[in-house]
Structure 1
Amino acid sequence: MSHEKVLLLKCKECHAAFFTEGESNFYKKKGLHTPKRCKSCREKRKFQLEQRRQKQELNRVLANLQFEQVEEVEMQSADPNTILYIIGNGFDLMHGVPSSYYHFRDSLGRRNELRKTLEMYIQKEDLWADFEESLAYFDDEALLVTLNDWMDIFDVKEQHDDDFSAADFFMASEAAMSPTYTIMDELPKNFRKWIVTLKPTISNTPLKQIINTEARYINFNYTEFLETIYKVPKGNILYIHGDRRDTNKELILGHSDMANHELDLNPSDFKSDRLRMKNQTTYDLHATAGYQLGNYYSSTAKKSSDVIKANKATFLAFADIDTVVVIGHSLSVVDYPYFKEIIRKNKKSSNMKWLISWYSVGDIKRIDAFAKNLGIQSKQIKLFKT
């Protein structure tokens, strides 16, 4: 039997034999301490320590909570004319719908060109955690530094050269900017393809006491489960970012409106030496590429102002709302404009009651930031756990 297979240690937790001679030599070469637990027990312990840390943080946050927390919310008997529900993706998740952006990522597969492009060019440690806002963090410089290479590949001449070709010039620009085209072209198609496959995996109704079917709703989801699970009439629901059943309309997703995002093409300001301009043609090529990057930011932005304008009458009808119930919404900055419009159109916004669901410490922190940004007083907010 090979020495590589000889087991040298027993785990102090489960007492199973582990650790081969090869592994021992590796640890010694790296100057690492010999583990006392097998891999399975190390992972289990790591998970337990993380759970303990999260629990301690939650207790600390709750101890300093400035909002009243309620155990139960009963809305079925309330006046539906004065209630507005805000429904976010947490609603679908509560009903077993695999609808997180991590699920979207997994649906693409590891070899998908869109996924590879996103993970290569989006400058976020975990772009899928807040996917929509992550789209605004495109690595501009990573593309721009390739322009000189593409100029060489397409043999782009200087503009005063008799052999200068505009076709070569624009092909070099498009080649360098191809990742932006991939995201702009493939994201809407892949996203809708995934959305239409979603369905609940549990049959119970955990929000039965909270949902008032006669009230009004703003549904940030693209799915119709408010209708199918709780029998909320379709006419009571504003599918603010689109309804997956309507194939004639594009589903809306994206980052905060970046209309003012401008690329600084001043050569003296570039961080990379490779971006410094050699001649006017190089400068013009960077300017052309910069224009395309501007198109990317505009194309991937969520045009909240346009959505609000298109639903002006609906927002006006919220003037008499006195209670807003937020269920499963992350309260991401990208959606602040909608909440601000609800407050702006309300007759007595300072007296509005906000019932907001939470699930994690992160939710509570976002609720706190949300209240401060929108000027909602702590006494107006009550939290309930889902």
Structure 2
Amino acid sequence: MSSLFIIGNGFDLAHGLPTRYKDFYNYLLKKYPKALELDPSFGIQPSEMPDGSLKFNKEELVAFLINIISEVSGEDWNDFEASLGRLNFDNHLYSMSTLFEDEDDDSSDYRMAYRNEDATSNFYLASVKIKDLFSEWINTIDISEVESKESFEFLMDPWKDTFLTFNYTPVLELVYGAIPVYPIHGQQNSEIIIGHGEDDKEIINSFSGSEYSLSKIHSALRKNTEEIIKLAQEEFYELLSG
């Protein structure tokens, strides 16, 4: 009789892998050490490359992302994914508004709204880069020295059992020879799924012109759990019928 195994991050941690969200935070600090020396601001923006693409200075980008995520998640980053649904850019927008607080004419509100729109458009471009950085980190996790655990080998049959895993590393396949394995959130060297689980929402704040881009950030960093569940069900039924 076959069994179904549902595998979470405790499995990778038990095999000595640095797969906590805190490890992601530490990776960013180690890979981009100058980020902590920078003062993140509303002025972050990408440069246009000769081919027309947009590219951020990595140190400035990491400094900005660490700042906005740590504000809601703390430096332990234990609730990293949930924090992506609670990002708050008000401090940056307020800092920008103070530079123009002496403006007082008929078009000052219009100009401030335009500045807010321009700044938050760049906030959007920067914020979605957290997915690329997360994938970059995941792909550095080395499992070549991981050894199998006899206690787990005793429980499973790599050919008959089915494995649903929320982990990003292929420990089940490469260390235990497990087949079939379904990675719910993707895997190393493939598309990685991360994000918060909150519903889309309309952004209402006191910074006119910022609402559209802030709503885009919230939506772009949302994990489409409905689609993930649907695909998982389809894959799961296929595995059972196979």
Q: What is the TM-score with the length of structure 2 in the denominator?
A: 0.72
Distance of aligned partners of 1:139 and 1:205 in 2 relative to their CA distance in 1, 3 Å threshold: same
* Residue of structure 2 equivalent to 1:90: 10
Is 2:195 aligned against 1:254? yes
Cα shift at 1:141: 2.6
* Residue of structure 1 equivalent to 2:87: 138
Give matches, 1:199-214, under 5 Å. Answer: 199-200=142-143, 201-206=145-150, 207-213=152-158, 214=160
Percent identity of the aligned residues? 25
Q: CA offsets, 1:307-328, max 9 Å, x none?
A: 22334423446899xxxxxxxx
Q: CA offsets, 1:258-290, max 9 Å, x none?
A: 31x33233xxxxxxxxx4xxxxxxxxxx34312
Q: What is the SS of the residue equivalent to 1:191? A: helix
Q: Over aligned residue pairs, what C-alpha RMSD do you find?
A: 3.2
Q: CA offsets, 1:11-56, max 9 Å, x none?
A: xxxxxxxxxxxxxxxxxxxxxxxxxxxxxxxxxxxxxxxxxxxxxx
* Residue of structure 1 equivalent to 2:210: 289
Distance of aligned partners of 1:101 and 1:309 in 2 relative to their CA distance in 1, 3 Å threshold: same
Q: CA offsets, 1:108-139, max 9 Å, x none?
A: 11424444324422323345112111222212
- Runs (4 or more) in structure 1 with deviation over 4 Å come to 150-153, 155-161, 315-320
Give matches, 1:41-120, under 5 Å. Answer: 79-80=1-2, 83-109=3-29, 110=33, 111=35, 112-120=59-67
Is 2:240 aligned against 1:240? no
For the 8 Å contact 2:120–2:214, the answer to whether it is kept is: no
Is 2:180 aligned against 1:231? no
Name the CA distance, whole Å, in 2 between partners of 1:319 and 1:287: 53
Q: CA offsets, 1:32-89, max 9 Å, x none?
A: xxxxxxxxxxxxxxxxxxxxxxxxxxxxxxxxxxxxxxxxxxxxxxx11xx2211112
For the 8 Å contact 2:116–2:209, the answer to whether it is kept is: no
Give matches, 1:15-30, under 5 Å. Answer: none
Distance of aligned partners of 1:254 and 1:218 in 2 relative to their CA distance in 1, 3 Å threshold: same
Name the CA distance, whole Å, in 2 between partners of 1:212 and 1:306: 29
Cα shift at 1:298: 0.9
Cα shift at 1:145: 2.0
Q: What is the SS of the residue equivalent to 1:238? A: strand
**Equivalent position amino acid for 1:128 in 2:** W
Q: Across the two proteins, how many residue pairs are aligned to each other? A: 209
Q: CA offsets, 1:123-163, max 9 Å, x none?
A: 2334511211122221243244235246569x8975599xx
Cα shift at 1:222: 1.7
* Residue of structure 2 equivalent to 1:356: none
From 123, 140, 154, the equivalent of 1:197 is 140
Name the CA distance, whole Å, in 2 between partners of 1:288 and 1:126: 30
Larger RCO of the pair (alpha carbons < 8 Å, separation 6+): 2
* Residue of structure 1 equivalent to 2:231: 310
For the 8 Å contact 2:113–2:209, the answer to whether it is kept is: no
Name the CA distance, whole Å, in 1 between partners of 2:10 and 2:108: 59
Distance of aligned partners of 1:306 and 1:257 in 2 relative to their CA distance in 1, 3 Å threshold: farther
Q: CA offsets, 1:318-351, max 9 Å, x none?
A: 899xxxxxxxxxxxxxxxxxxxxxxxxxxxxxxx
Distance of aligned partners of 1:136 and 1:156 in 2 relative to their CA distance in 1, 3 Å threshold: farther
Distance of aligned partners of 1:297 and 1:308 in 2 relative to their CA distance in 1, 3 Å threshold: same
From 222, 234, 256, the equivalent of 2:168 is 222
Q: What is the SS of the residue equivalent to 2:153? A: coil
Distance of aligned partners of 1:158 and 1:189 in 2 relative to their CA distance in 1, 3 Å threshold: farther
For the 8 Å contact 1:95–1:202, the answer to whether it is kept is: yes
For the 8 Å contact 1:205–1:229, the answer to whether it is kept is: no
* Residue of structure 2 equivalent to 1:347: none
* Residue of structure 2 equivalent to 1:263: 203
Give matches, 1:5-16, under 5 Å. Answer: none
Q: What is the SS of the residue equivalent to 1:217? A: strand
For the 8 Å contact 2:116–2:208, the answer to whether it is kept is: no
Q: What is the SS of the residue equivalent to 1:123? A: helix
Name the CA distance, whole Å, in 2 between partners of 1:189 and 1:291: 23
For the 8 Å contact 1:220–1:241, the answer to whether it is kept is: yes
Which structure 2 segments of 5+ residues have no match? 36-58
Rg bigger for which structure? 1
Name the CA distance, whole Å, in 2 between partners of 1:124 and 1:101: 11
